[in-house]
Amino acid sequence: MADANNVLEVQEIHTFIGQFHILEGVTVTVPSGSITVLLGRNGAGKTTTLKSIMGLTPPSQGSIVLEGQSLVGRRPFTIAQMGVGYVPEHRAIFRDLTVRENLAIAQRKGDDLERRADFIFGLFPDLKRFYNLPGGNLSGGQQQMLAVARALVPENRLLLIDEPSEGLAPVIIESLIEAIRRLSAQTTVLLVEQNFRVASILADRYVIIDDGRSVVSGQIQDLVQDEALVQRYLGVA
């Protein structure tokens, strides 16, 4: 039964990549206005879960509902147009395009890029300085900021962010945490994060995925206090 307080409800999805059965029953609910984090070891299926929601690796079974509308069977561009922003792992910014072009490509009919630019540059002031520089010339941290910024150009209802802290220096991670926290005031966020410290600072809720199945979910504060659970599924004390 759909809960009106949830922006996204993923129920028991199964996803194959080629002949490999990657997701074997993942259930995730994302309450409106929250930051929900998907946790799990490498290869557990976190990224595939985000890709399945986005329609990039469509599930063969199960349901994905965004505010009452099913996403299953829709193509990624339609899902994006329905208000789902996606920040993939490894950033996937367009290296040959300038910062301005990277942002402009995400603009949709009716979007006011100027107005959104004020909000975006408020979060990531560096991007304003490098507005006309190719994305490939930015540092790793700036590229990550650009990837998040690009997803903020349209006013999305849900933002999927995959491993934002991956490969970044601690000082950059701190500013990214601050930016994600601020943007979550406007958009609901579903995050994949390997760095448990970052996840525990940012998220309100968690879902642990293990071997392609969602195994535990709840409030992040409860998880932080449950060392046995953290040790069992995430391998960190």
Partner 1 sequence: MQRTRGTYMLILTLTVGLLVFSFVTSAGDLGSFGTTLLSGLFLGALYFLVASGLSIIFGLMDILNFAQGAYFMIGAYVTYSLFHMDALKGIDVNLRFPLGVLAGTIIGGLLGAVLERGLLRPLYARPIFQLVLTFGVAIVFGEALKAIWGTEGYGWSTVTSFGIHQSQFEIFGRQFGSYRLFVVAVGVALIVLIGLLLQRTRIGIIIRAGVEDSEMVEALGINVRAVFTMVFTLGCAVAAFGGAIAAPFLGANLGMGNAFLLPAIAVVVLGGLGSYMGTAIGSFMVGLAVAVIARFASEFLNQTVWASITPMLLLILILLLRPSGLFGKESR
Give CA–CA dist 79/110, Å, rounded.
17
> Min. distance of Cβ 88 from partner 1 in angstroms?
7
Contact status: 80 vs partner 1 (CB under 8 A):
yes
Instruction: Annotate each residue in 185-214 with x if it binds partner 1 (CB under 8 A) or - if it does not, as one string.
Output: ------------------------------
Q: Give the total of residues touching partner 1 (CB under 8 A).
A: 21
Phi and psi, residue 17, nearest 5°: -115, 110
Which residue, 124 or 206, is less far from partner 1 as judged by CB? Answer: 124
Please select the residue that binds partner 1; options are 16, 24, 25, 56, rule is CB under 8 A. Answer: 56
Q: What H or E segment, with its residue span, contains residue 80?
A: helix 76-81
- Give, as one character, the DSSP assignment of residue 98: B
Contact status: 166 vs partner 1 (CB under 8 A):
no
Q: Where are the beta strands (DSSP E) in the chain?
A: 6-17, 20-31, 35-39, 61-66, 69-70, 84-87, 158-162, 188-192, 205-210, 213-219
Candidates 87-95, 174-182, 184-192, 203-211 — which segment interacts with partner 1 by CB under 8 A? 87-95
Alpha helices per DSSP H over 167-216: 170-183, 196-202
Q: Using CB under 8 A, list all residues that contact partner 1.
A: 54, 56, 75-77, 80-81, 86, 88, 92, 94-97, 101, 104-106, 108, 150, 154
